[in-house]
Amino acid sequence: MLDVHPAHHAASTWRDFFIHIATIVLGLLIAVSLEQTVEYFHHRSVAREGREQLNHERDLDARSNELNIFTTERHETDLKRDLAILRAVRARQPLPSQPFILRRFRFVYPEDTWLKLHQNGTVAYMDGHDLTGAAYRYFNQESFSSRVSESIETLSHSAAMLRGQDDPLNISLEQSITDGHFLDDLVDHHFTMREAAIEDHYASLAEHADLTQLTPGQIDELERAIKVALADDDAQLYYCFNVKRNLKNNPVR
């Protein structure tokens, strides 16, 4: 804040009085203008930094979105094969040789920057166009993450019938680390990775239960759960495609 000091001697005439008042008013206007100019450039700097941070996170989100499309479409393929296997079990026909896979991979969208810019008030200085496009994308990303979490939990509960009391755990620290490396490779190379390498790692998700021991009622319940999961996957792809379209329609400025 700039201070404006009045003259040290009193005005002796009306002319001096008005000059004195005009000097104070002019000084105040200059001070306010300078302060607003400093704030303007500061706000522009803050907005520019926020936009650069969002653009960086945008690139990360785009990579995550491509992988989520890939893994969700792959999950749908696995679930449709599972339905075919269950139909064979019901008909007492020879089971296909492919693995019975209910579990899936997914990748988290990084949203730290978006949250931080709201928490520290930076969004107040940013262009509305930047925020409108980003807000729609983040809404769809959050919707995807919420829907996939609910779907995984529901399908896992329905698949509990495939577990026996003596079965080993499906997860371990070593397996989690291996899955993390596999996801990293998928992020960077899922368009060019050898299909055999992808198949080998997805096989680690296979259920090892004896499906021929399922009762007709259990088969019905599992089929319903898989069909619900397929509907969930369709909804997840809807969100992913919204994100992809949004990224295309809102290029980096």
Look up the domain containing 216 and give its range. Answer: 60-249
At 113 the pLDDT is 86
pLDDT score at 124: 79
Tell me what the pLDDT averaged over the chain comes to.
Answer: 85
Residue 118 is predicted with a pLDDT of: 82
Predicted confidence band of residue 69 (pLDDT cuts 50, 70, 90): very high
Give me the number of domains the chain comprises: 1
Q: What average pLDDT score do residues 87-112 get?
A: 90
Residue 17 lies in a domain: no
Tell me, yes or no, whether 151 lies in a domain.
yes
* Residue 69 falls inside a structural domain: yes
Domain contains 21:
no
- Length of the chain measured in residues: 253
Q: What is the pLDDT of residue 12?
A: 65
- What confidence tens digit (pLDDT) does each residue in 134-160 have? 899 999 999 999 999 999 999 999 999
For residue 236, being part of any structural domain is answered with yes
Please report whether residue 18 resides in a domain: no
| DSSP-based three-state secondary structure for 73 | helix
What burial letters (b/e) apply to 196-231, b meaning 16+ CB within 10 Å?
A: eebeebbeebebeeebeebeeebbeebbebbeebbe
Contact in structure between 123 and 138 (CB atoms under 8 Å): no
Q: Does 13 fall in a domain?
A: no
Using pLDDT thresholds of 50, 70 and 90, give the confidence band for residue 8.
low
Q: Is residue 221 part of a domain?
A: yes
Determine the pLDDT at residue 7.
52
C-beta neighbour count of 116 within 10 angstroms: 13
Residue 106 has pLDDT above 90, yes or no: no
Rounded average pLDDT over 206-220: 93
The rounded distance, in Å, linking the Cα atoms of 198 and 74 is 10
Question: What's the predicted TM-score (pTM) here?
Answer: 0.79
Mind spelling out the 3-state secondary structure of 154-219?
Answer: HHHHHHHHHCCCCCCCCCCHHHHHHHHHHHHHHHHHCCCCCHHHHHHHHHHHECCCCHHHCCHHHH
Residue 51 pLDDT > 60, yes or no? yes
Q: What is the pLDDT of residue 13?
A: 75
- Cα first-last separation, the chain: 34
User: 225 falls in which pLDDT band (50, 70, 90)?
Assistant: very high
| Residue 1 pLDDT > 70 | no
Question: Predicted confidence band at 232 (pLDDT cuts at 50, 70, 90)?
Answer: very high
